Homo-oligomer: A and B are copies of this chain.
């Protein structure tokens, strides 16, 4: 367990976040680490892009003529803004279905202005606003394309779940065991795997090294779609969207619930995985920016420097309701391997 981030107020540290982080190359070699990276963690939403690989690799995405925005949404934990919900609806329309096919459950948009906008218009939230609706719609598309009935697609025993879980296991190199299975917020299974396996999966996802030619191409298609449509992956005011908007194809970044975050640095052939032990995403963000700044190559850093996005996100001002600076949250990484 290492120190990942500190939250200050006035001249004092008010809170601290500990956790683990690891950087792995495409061969699986650990390049840098902090804390126990062999222990298993639930990857939660960080693996959505890996779950999307089969949709592209199988040819389903091309047959269904999915747009970049639609592909990006299959990798998303989105804000539930109007464009996210509309894009999820379009994905379902590709296979002649609608919101009724989604088994993710309903919650109001996590982006509060979007929730208030919806309420202000006298509307109600529906499963399209669930932050996972794109991933679910993607699985439904894959299922329909394969001629498999979609009902119960969230069940670990459903044919489509078995297929994408197999891909997860291959790309991360980690067993996806039943006795390490939990249920995610959106009712899909999440399998605990070692943190370094998660990083390894994203080193492969970014570089294509160690993947079949078809899968490497599928990964590239997804990364390109997300780089073109970073808004779809998260939304207004969100970390992943903000970074990918500036860095483009230089980094693929994805957050997950309970303080998990991954990145792929394609040009460097590296994968990064972070787990904040207390589950706080705010700490994963500042730590990730510090690691990308340190391990990204010249091209990435030059690109990021234009907007100052990495500096701005590795040490973030905390402002109160009157807009006063009251402290900051900053990366505080311990020395690693």
Interface residues of A (CB under 8 A from B): 7, 9-12, 14-18, 40-42, 103-108, 112, 115-120, 122, 130, 179-187, 190, 192, 258-259, 276-280, 283, 320-324, 326-327
Contact = CB atoms under 8 A, between A and B. Distances in A.
A183 B10 contact: yes
13 contacts: A10-B180, A10-B182, A10-B192, A11-B182, A12-B42, A105-B322, A106-B321, A107-B321, A116-B119, A117-B119, A120-B122, A183-B324, A278-B283
Closest 9 CB pairs of A and B: A105-B321, A10-B182, A116-B119, A15-B279, A9-B182, A278-B278, A105-B322, A119-B120, A183-B326
| Copies per complex of this chain | 2
A295 to B, nearest CB: 25
Nearest to A183: B326
Given A14-B279, A117-B119, A184 B130 contact: no
A42 B11 CA distance: 11
A326 B189 CA distance: 10
Contacts of A283: 278
Contact of A12 (B180, B185, B187): B180
A157 to B, nearest CB: 16
Contact of A112 (B41, B108, B276, B327): B108
B116 A108 contact: yes
A122 B108 CA distance: 18
B15 A258 contact: yes
A259 B14 CA distance: 10
